[in-house]
Amino acid sequence: MPELDSAMLSRLLTSLTLGFHIIFATLGVGVPLLISGAEWIGIRRNDPHYRLLARRWTRGFVVTVAVGVVTGTCIGLQLSLLWPSFMEVAGQVIGLPLFLETFAFFFEAIFLGIYLYTWDRFENPYYHWLISVPVVIGSSASAFFISTVNAFMNAPKGFKLDNGKLTEIQPLVAMFNPATPTKAAHVISSAYLTSAFVLAAVTAFLILKKGQTEYYKKALHFTMVTAFVFAIATAIIGDFSGKYLAKYQPEKLAAAEWHFETEKGADLIVGGVLDENGEVKYALRLPKFLSILAHGDPNAEVIGLEEFPKEETAPLFIHYLFDLMVGIGMFLAALSTLYLVLQRWNRSWHHSRVFLWAIVASGPLSMLAIEAGWIFSEVGRQPWILWHVMKTVEGATTSDHVGAMFLLFLGLYIVLGWICTVVLLKMFKDNPVETEFEQMER
The residues, ordered by sequence, that sit 6+ positions from 440 with a Cβ below 8 Å of its Cβ are: 48, 51, 52
pLDDT, tens digit, 9 for 90 and up, residues 162-195: 776 777 888 898 889 999 999 999 999 999 999 9
- Which pLDDT score, from 0 to 100, does residue 441 have? 53
Nearest of 62, 229, 76 to residue 146 by alpha carbon: 76
Q: Give 3-state DSSP helix, strand, coil % of the chain, rounded to 5.
A: 75, 5, 20
Q: Which residues of the chain have pLDDT under 50?
A: 1
- Which pLDDT score, from 0 to 100, does residue 1 have? 46
Buried b (16+ CB within 10 A) or exposed e, 94-128: bbbbbebbeebbebbeebbeebeeeeeeeeebeeb
- Which pLDDT score, from 0 to 100, does residue 331 have? 93
- Which pLDDT score, from 0 to 100, does residue 431 have? 67
Buried b (16+ CB within 10 A) or exposed e, 22-32: bbbbbbbbbbb
> Domain map of the chain by residue range?
6-262+303-441
pLDDT, tens digit, 9 for 90 and up, residues 373-397: 999 988 888 888 888 888 888 888 8
Mean residue pLDDT across the chain:
86
Q: Is 320 exposed, middle or buried (0-12, 13-18, 19+ CB in 10 A)?
A: middle
* One-letter amino acid for residue 301 of the chain: E
Helices (H) and strands (E) in the chain, counts: 14, 8
- Which pLDDT score, from 0 to 100, does residue 291 have? 87
Question: Are 305 and 319 within 8 A, CB to CB?
Answer: no
In angstroms, the Cα distances linking 297 to 147, 266, 268, 291, 301 are 29, 10, 13, 6, 9
